[in-house]
Structure 1
Amino acid sequence: MKKHFLIALLSILSLNLVNAQQLKSPNGETTLSFLLKADGIPTYQLSYRSKEVIRTSKLGLELKNDKKSLLNDFVITDTKNSSFDENWTPVWGEVKTIRNHYNEMAITLNQKETNRQMIIRFRLYDEGLGFRYEFPSQKNLTYFVVKEEKTQFAMAGDHTAYWIAGDYDTQEYDYTTSKLSEIRVLNAKAITANLSQKSFSSTGVQTSLMMKTANGLYINLHEAALINYPCMHLNLDDKNMVFESWLTPDVNGDKGYIQAPFNTPWRTIMVSDDAREILASKMIYNLNEPNKIKDTSWIKPVKYVGVWWEMITGKSSWAYTDDYPSVQLGITDYSKAKPNGKHGANTDNVKKYIDFAAANGFDGVLVEGWNVGWEDWYGNSKDYVFDFVTPYPDFKLQEIRDYAKSKGVKMIMHHETSSSVRNYERHIDTAYKFMKANGYDAVKSGYVGNILPRGENHYSQWIINHYQYAVEKAAEYKIMVNAHEAIRPTGIARTYPNLIGNESARGTEYQAFGGSKPNHVTILPFTRLQGGPMDYTPGIFEMDISKLNPSNTSHVNATLANQLALYLTMYSPLQMAADLPENYNRFADAFQFIKDVAVDWDDSKYIEAEPGEFITVARKAKGTGKWFLGSVNGDNSRTSNISLDFLEAGKKYTATIYADAKEAHYKTNPQAYTIRKVVVTSKSKLAQFCAAGGGYAISFLENK
């Protein structure tokens, strides 16, 4: 009886395989299979080098207030296969040229009962798959509301995952490393306090989700080109190891309002048996539209300092006075207020940062807390919180503007919206005009606290549209944007390269709020950075926060050498030297690396990589040919053994190596470092000690 059953089962599987439509990656190593199951249910399956990556998984969307959802009853009416291969040049990036090479299969489905049409477009790259739903203009499907997208990602095992809890408002969590089956149990511990947060499920996680299988595959789930649609989370059925998309709702609980013609964002699955290929992939960027900004000459990578860390640590304050428990702009008279003596954004202090930037070759200075309203800026559901143009009495804006210009330093504007989105849009043209009139070409925007309009979430469709509106509006004024607390990036910086940075993850500031895990920076490049660069604000040299503010007992969980390496491993065209000038003066020999390191690159080579454990990358500076290398380490000390074969053959280089001393440890001895110079070639090998929470950084100077 069993024999007959197995024969019948194999016959069914064989029949399904025959009926499935298949697509191969350009190198032939990855295979996508698409199949309409019983009752016309669309499904897909993905394999890599004959190993199953995604088991048979369902596709479709559940609609609200509609007699029939887009889940079944489909027939295939057309299939188009094509190939594409191009090279494009990013305005800034890790490499000078990006190859966009894929095979495509577009399957047109018709729902028999409703006569509605839906296209599922698959693009298969050597490093993975992207697919999306497309709704062409049609009579029977024009306006509709998405109740839930039902895209599945069926895992082939109980993989190790590097995850943060699903949340509609924040990604500012430390990562948890566990088996998929352990997410439910560990979820409560993974959620830590934040000024705005809303988790939705005990098995919900956020993308970009990184996983490693027992048979050595690295899998990453994410999305690309998130435009006019809510952010996708993943909810795990931990009995069957199946992730299903879970979109961020609006105030009414609806997920998405759609008008055809319309394309959803791409759902992405990266896979490799080499973790370095995940880090090097540009698939997320490739799935976005080409650059829409014709003249990009004003978009320039930036290395900057700023009046920020002293406020984050509590050494100084954003607010000008302690006299006012509340502020009403246009009514509150700051000329009558007593200064609190702690306000960081005062003219003399800002000039010190400008002097420091000019003396050390930095491009810009960021100043936070310069504008009126910080006395009651969050937590009060306040609409008119800032006007973005009125400075405090002790911030002489024109004087600072002229002083910075005389020193050859650009000022960076700060727009904290306090998540009052309507207020920001009300003022945005005036604010951007004010910036340009005063020589500000870049803005750091912030969205701290609960979103206004009330009930909306940071990652719902309407707010996603706001972030995009702010970036596109900034492009009109030739302003670069660094958005904090906004949606995590999904490669949109290809289309709008004035989006030169985002936060959207647990950044360095949390080292002053109690600390982050020492292996945090060995996970972020595999997760958050997959969609675009992060303004991580590295470069902290004084790890004991109580030395800046005696009432703050936090500790930066990294060694000084680790902080140097972050300028390579945490790629961004926007890099801050975040510590106070006096701390850089104390460690001037180590600070030299931050002064030397580039922020824009012609080439990048990932040399070592293992999520949660270590990352080593070498990068070639754009236009100069200079190489730099950074390596960050996780919880345990180790020896990094690498080859320098990325250097040009036949040439000699002086390598200046900034490394952990033997006695270094992120907690007990973080400032123990060594600096040595050695002559190397492309044939040289390096064995370098890395402390727990440590690392090393190298600059290479060609010997003439």
Structure 2
Amino acid sequence: MKNQSLIALFIISLSLFSCGVASSKVTSPDENIVVNFYLSNEGQFFYTIKYKEKSIIDTSFVGFKLLDAPDLEKGFIARVKKPNKVDETWQMLWGEQENVVNKYNEIRIELEEKENLKRKVNLVFKVYNDGVGFRYEFPKQENLKEVLIAEENTEFNLTEDYKTFWIPGDWDIYEHLYSTTKLSEIDAESYIPKTNLAQTYIPENAVNTPVTLVGKNGIHLSFHEASLVDYAGMTLKVDTKNLGFKSSLVGSRNTAYKVKRTAPFVTPWRTIQITENAPDLIQSNLIVNLNEPNKLGNISWFTPMKYTGVWWEMHLGKSSWDYGMEMVDGKWTDTGKAHGKHGATTENVKRFIDFSAKNNIGGVLVEGWNTGWEHWIGFEDREGVFDFVTPYPDYNLDEVTSYAKEKGVQIIMHHETSAATETYEKQQDTAYALMKKYGMHVVKSGYVGKILPKGEYHHGQYMVNQYNNAAIKAAKYEVAVNAHEPIKATGLRRTYPNIISREGLRGQEFNAWASDGGNPPEHLSIVAFTRMLAGPIDFTPGIFNIKFDEYKKENQVNTTLAHQLALYVVVYSPVQMVADLVEHYEANPAPLEFIKDVGVDWSKTKILNGEVGDFVTIARKERKTGNWFLGSITDENSREITINFDFLDENTSYEAKIYKDGKNAHWNDNPLDIDIETVEITKKDKQTFTLAAGGGLAISIQKKD
């Protein structure tokens, strides 16, 4: 491949310039990244990328396979516009930091068919110091109006057999454990016999994004997409022989095309983050920067918060979502009375409200409050099962919301759609209006099950529009959305800052009910450098009763208690669940202090160290108080971590309350062993800590009076 590209460079460069192209490359502001553009002698467009003179992306072609029209792949002439330089700073309304630098060099390549229909498609490249984003633009034109895309053929051909952290290109769910293999050893279809998920479809050897790669010389790459709007989600088909990826869009069983659009329109950005180390991947703002600026304006009605809720007790089996059905003679039967295990009762929710109010926790999530839960699991036709305004008889919505308001706690709404999209669409206005009436500003939505209408997948164009349109409509009612079973995060929180968080990974609940042993200790050390690069995660940390002896002796969380505390800093979300049962926190007041203190909205974030799949340490500065919080987690290996506190303010003394693994701590053998100490530190201090196997470190750093 390399020899072929060298031969092509000379011929194609002549072809470019003979067409009047003014430039054939664009560089990053620091000139470390160079993107070159070429046309083959058949009029095919391709690009290459170098980082510090090392080839990262080799000859990679682009194009589209269309339905009912000739493909857009060759026969082009090209015009390259003069590069544009952008250097701006914008403010996050909430997030990992207040001020975001958006600095890049941009170039636009206008491709037009030389003969026949003379159809046009533009490519826009934005090159940052930490990577590259490019997208396609279909301008308004006479011979290409309705565009039916059967496949987008965007190549990413690599130059070595990278160590790769990946999950399969499942069209329906992201809730898989990560594999770590060479690129040449990726086998997504090996997941098929292992899946026991509510929905899954793995049609080929492809991976979902973000997919992160580590090179022999320390180069780190992550492939993803940004600003996914009215388009199908992109998986990456793997070429294990030639070491590359090619875009493979999520389709539908109902149409021969994967995307239907009318020109003019733009595609999502195809993104390649390029850094010299793992921490810089997390520090990168490439994905969020590639989205359009805020379209909602001020959303002061949304407050980042921690929250509790009747959720974990349902996964443990202490209570249930449904109210009044029983299994009689092997069939679900409506007995007309409660079975006594319903979790979302007025009394139980008040208990969570009291606990939240006492412990600096701003919200309570109530799942299972509305009618319909008895009828949806296992039923093929789920349309019309749920409504989103009618509570069960033992849940008094007026009383609960009034009580929460008195206590200064917000009730977080829950909408489980059961993937019955038409039912949810019809009821959205009514449901959001009910929330506005009661002063609820956050909804957790769910889409468990196969999508209705049949034939659609969670990550196809149909559902991309469902998720996005639901959030855009929610903003009109002053509602922020935390979506579960979602499409991937692609930075839309910049454009619509009421898109606050989402699931989109294998979450904490797998520890409670998975038969495969739950999430391994390395899980979140991979997630931090893969899924978290896409955006905020609703992971539900903070489990104190790690062994589940009271409810599920065969299951457990595979981390130490200190690891669970550290997740409040490591795994970012503006809404962080305090997920365990009230009684488990009340029995452990000392570690609960960290959860009471830790922030959720940050002015600065520093990634202090880390390696993908091994460990990571993150420090964040809280916006309101100026206090710092630090979290560090490791995989199944114990290790020493040296923390340099030089990120702290000059000439300032801090009180650091340290929550660290005890001497005998171990994720399986002794997960609750934790030491807590308070010391004084300044920016000049360095300290070394030992993280136990599956362990962690959490530090609350507050200015001394």
Which of 171, 176, 190 matches 1:173? Answer: 176
Report the CA distance between 1:111 and its aligned residue: 1.0
Task: Give the match for residue 206 of structure 2.
Answer: 204
- Structure-1 separation of matches of 2:321 and 2:137: 47
Which consecutive unaligned segments of at least 5 residues does structure 1 have? 1-5, 327-331
Aligned residue in 1 for 2:419: 419
Q: Partner of 1:55 in structure 2?
A: 58
Aligned amino acid, residue 676 of structure 1: E
Equivalence map 1:567-586=2 (5 Å):
567-586=568-587
In 1: Cα distance, 2:704 partner to 2:297 partner: 40
Indicate the residue corresponding to 2:631 in structure 1: 630
Provide the identity percentage.
45
Show the counterpart of 1:663.
Answer: 664
Aligned residue runs from structure 1 range 90-489, under 5 A: 90-112=92-114, 113-184=116-187, 187-188=190-191, 191-201=194-204, 203-251=205-253, 252-323=255-326, 337-381=336-380, 382-489=382-489
Number of the residue aligned with 2:20: none
How far apart are residue 509 of structure 1 and its match? 1.0
- Pairwise CA distance, 1:499: 1.0
- Cα 1:106–1:172 change in 2 (3 A) is same
Shift of 1:9: 9.0
C-alpha distance in 2, partners of 1:7/1:181? Answer: 21
Report the alpha carbon displacement of residue 78 of structure 1 after superposing the two structures with TM.
4.2
Q: Is the 8 A contact 2:96 2:603 kept in 1?
A: yes
- AA paired with 2:237? N
Aligned equivalents of 1:473 and 1:440: distance in 2?
15
Does 1:533 pair with 2:532? no
1:52 deviation in Å? 1.4
Q: Is the 8 A contact 2:327 2:333 kept in 1?
A: no
Return the letter of the residue paired with 1:486. P
Distance 1:504 1:421 in 2: 18
SS at structure 2 position matched to 1:110: strand
Correspondence 1:26-41 to 2 at 5 A? 26-41=29-44
Shift of 1:643: 0.6
- Give the C-alpha shift of residue 606 in structure 1: 0.5
Letter aligned with residue 697 of structure 2: Y
Aligned partner letter, 2:122: I
1:526 alignment partner, SS class: coil
Structure 2 unpaired stretches of 5+:
17-22
Can you list the C-alpha shifts for 1:12-35, whole angstroms capped at 9, x where unaligned? 545556757111100111000111
Q: Could you say which residue in structure 2 is the equivalent of 1:329? A: none
Task: Report the CA distance shift for 1:27/1:393 in structure 2 as closer, same or farther (over 3 A).
Answer: same
**Structure 2 equivalent of residue 3 of structure 1:** none
Measured in 2, the distance between the counterparts of 1:681 and 1:450 equals: 54
Instruction: Using the TM superposition, name which of 521-530 and 231-240 deviates more.
Output: 521-530
Distance 1:12 1:564 in 2: 55
Q: Displacement, 1:324?
A: 7.7
Question: How many Å separate the matches in 1 of 2:440 and 2:328?
Answer: 31
The answer on whether the counterparts of 1:302 and 1:599 sit within 8 Å (CA) in structure 2 is yes
TM-score, normalised to structure 1's length? Answer: 0.95
Match of 2:75 in 1: 73
Matched-pair contact (CA < 8 Å) for 1:148–1:246: yes
Q: CA deviation at 1:493?
A: 0.5
What SS does the corresponding residue of 1:351 show, helix, strand or coil? Answer: helix
User: Residues 539 and 12 (structure 1 numbering): CA distance in 2 closer, same or farther, change over 3 Å?
Assistant: closer
TM superposition shift of 1:358: 0.9
Any idea what the Cα deviations from partners look like across 1:403-426, whole Å, max 9, x if unmatched?
A: 111111110110000000110001
Assess if the C-alpha contact under 8 Å between 1:324 and 1:375 holds in 2.
no
Deviations 1:137-156 (A, max 9, x none): 00011102101000001011
Say if 1:388 and 1:555 are closer, same or farther in 2 by CA, change over 3 A: same
Asked if structure 1 preserves the Cα contact closer than 8 Å seen for 2:168 and 2:189, the reply is: no
**Structure 1 residue 191 displacement after superposition:** 4.8
- The 3 A distance-change label for structure 1 pair 283 and 109 is same
Aligned residue runs from structure 1 range 509-588, under 5 A? 509-514=509-514, 515-547=518-550, 549-550=551-552, 553-588=554-589
> Scaled by the length of structure 2, what TM-score is found?
0.95
Shift of 1:77: 3.3
Judge conservation of contact 1:231–1:460 (CA < 8 Å) in 2. Answer: yes
**Partner Cα distance (1:426, 1:270) in 2:** 40
Say whether the 8 Å CA contact 1:207–1:233 is kept in structure 2.
yes
Question: Aligned partners of 1:656 and 1:8: how far apart in 2?
Answer: 60
User: Deviation digits for residues 317-352 of structure 1, max 9, x if unmatched?
Assistant: 1011224889xxxxx998x71211111111111111
Query: Helix, strand or coil for the counterpart of 2:493?
Result: helix
Do structure 1's residue 505 and structure 2's residue 505 form an aligned pair? yes
- Letter paired with 2:667: Y
Distance in 1 (CA, whole Å) between partners of 2:523 and 2:3 is 50
User: Number of matched residues?
Assistant: 689
